Amino acid sequence: MVNIYLKNCKRAAVSVRIFLAIMIICLCMTFSACTLFGSIKDFFADKFSAEDEMSEVVDAAEAFFSLLMDKNYNEAYEYISSEDKLRGSPEDFSEEFINVTDIISININWVEIKSNIAMVGMDLTDCYDGEEEVYRDIEVSLIKEEDNSWKIVFWEKQKKQENIESNV
């Protein structure tokens, strides 16, 4: 009788161990699945939000250059960054285009966003004396303002040049 009792205890102990092992495996799978599903959800959420950001950047760049094509410099001035607006007035901005050829079209090729800074790569077609010329791979910088709008960094090169000259 004791033998039977010991055999039943061993079977019960083995059954409990198997049950505990299965429970541990299930819990591990559940928690790793939560992480996996969370990662998948984050991937798609980031992907769609990045596409929305890219769309906003492209819209801002296209609107800015469309206004330049129409020679509507006062409205185009509204698309430059607030820091650039501190560097120059709308009149200063308009004067930048006095000796510039006519922009015929732009073609945006790529957009790269890192945090609150975006780079847009484009081809620009202009016209001078009836001849069209295409400038390839022009890079335009944009910055995300505090109101979450994307603005053109217009006088960036001038600022760098001023810094270089002041350091010499």
The whole-number average pLDDT for the span 124-130 is 87
56 close to 40: Cβ distance less than 8 angstroms = no
pTM of the prediction? 0.64
Q: Per DSSP, what are the bridge partners of residue 111?
A: 120
Q: Alpha-carbon distance 84 to 93, whole Å? A: 10
Enumerate residues 6+ apart whose C-beta is below 8 A from 6: none
Task: Kindly list the distances between the CA atom of residue 2 and the CA atoms of 6, 8, 9, 14, 15, in Å, as whole numbers in the listed order.
Answer: 6, 10, 10, 18, 20
Which range has the worst mean pLDDT, 16-20, 65-69, 155-159?
A: 155-159
The whole-number average pLDDT for the span 136-141 is 94
Sort residue 4 into left (φ over 0), alpha (ψ -120 to 50) or beta. Answer: alpha
Q: Is the pLDDT of residue 110 over 70?
A: yes
112 close to 87: Cβ distance less than 8 angstroms = no
Q: Alpha-carbon distance 64 to 77, whole Å? A: 8
pLDDT given at position 117: 94
Domain count of the fold of the chain: 1
Range of the domain at 22: 2-167
Report the 10 Å Cβ neighbour count for 122: 21
Q: How confident is the model at residue 142 (pLDDT cuts 50, 70, 90)?
A: very high
The enclosing domain of 18 has a CATH number of: 3.10.450.100
